[in-house]
Amino acid sequence: MARTFFVGGNFKLNGSKTSIKEIVDRLNTASIPENVEVVICPPATYLDYTVSLVQKKQVSVGAQNTYVKASGAYTGENSVEQLKDVGAKWVILGHSERREYFKEDDKFVAEKTKFALDNGLGVILCIGETLEEKKAGVTLDVVKRQLDAVIAEVKDWTNVVIAYEPIWAIGSGLAATPEDAQEIHASIRKYLASKLGDKVAEETRILYGGSANGKNAVTFKDKADVDGFLVGGASLKPEFVDIINSRN
């Protein structure tokens, strides 16, 4: 079974009602293939507003973070139920910026992933290595360690999409070559097969998340294990539509 091409847009801490309306209007009027799934992830303050604007059935809305509790005295957090209540279908977890700036370790990311899945959100699970780790030749060790934490918690991977994001390529202008990405994605899939079985490995989508843009996205087109992209800054720009259409 062919895996549905998936393009996520992580707006990060960017956006206003005006700019988000421009982005969604562009998607609403763009020609988007039927066989693609697009998930845009604005800041939490704009989730409800973004959901109200989306008209294309191929486009849904996700959050950038969530917590491991349903409710309670957790100032500043957003619960899974609240995200679902405003129409979010997905959440990004394990992003390198959460790991680095907010000190979220593998175990905490795994706990959040399990909680989100158990309570009805799809998860875009981010994994990836730093430049130092890449230079040391331990990329696969790092991504296996990050995956192992989640594998220990999550048995049903139906609603998990993995985003391999080489941290050294985010916002740096650097990017893995399509061949590099394919090699690492294939290794990730092989590792999933060894831990979770061939069926899960074959069905799980693995996205490339390292500075994909309108120009380079098409160069990944024939890479069998690159099932889409998690896009940062380019998701705020008109070229996001080019990335969405890069398989056609």
Task: Please name the residue ranges forming H helices in 61-169.
Answer: 80-85, 96-101, 106-118, 131-135, 139-153
Distance between start and end Cα atoms, the chain:
19
Helix (H) or strand (E) holding 21: helix 17-29
Instruction: Judge whether 133 counts as a catalytic residue.
Output: no
Instruction: Judge whether 185 counts as a catalytic residue.
Output: no
Other CB atoms closer than 10 Å to residue 13's CB: what's the count?
Answer: 7
CB 214 within 8 A of CB 244: no
Write the DSSP symbol of residue 225: T
- Taking the C-alpha atoms of residue 84 and residue 88, their distance in angstroms, rounded to an integer, is 5
**How big, in percent rounded to 5, are the helix, strand and coil portions of the chain?**
45, 15, 40
CB 50 within 8 A of CB 61: yes
Nearest Cα to Cα of residue 204 among 143, 92, 137, 122: 122
User: Active-site residue among 37, 95, 97, 104?
Assistant: 95
Give exposure, 90-107, as e/b (b: 16+ Cβ within 10 Å): bbbbbbbbbbeeeebebe
User: Active-site residue among 37, 111, 165, 185?
Assistant: 165
Structure tokens of 139?
Answer: 């990329």
CB 187 within 8 A of CB 224: no
Q: Which residues are catalytic?
A: 95, 165
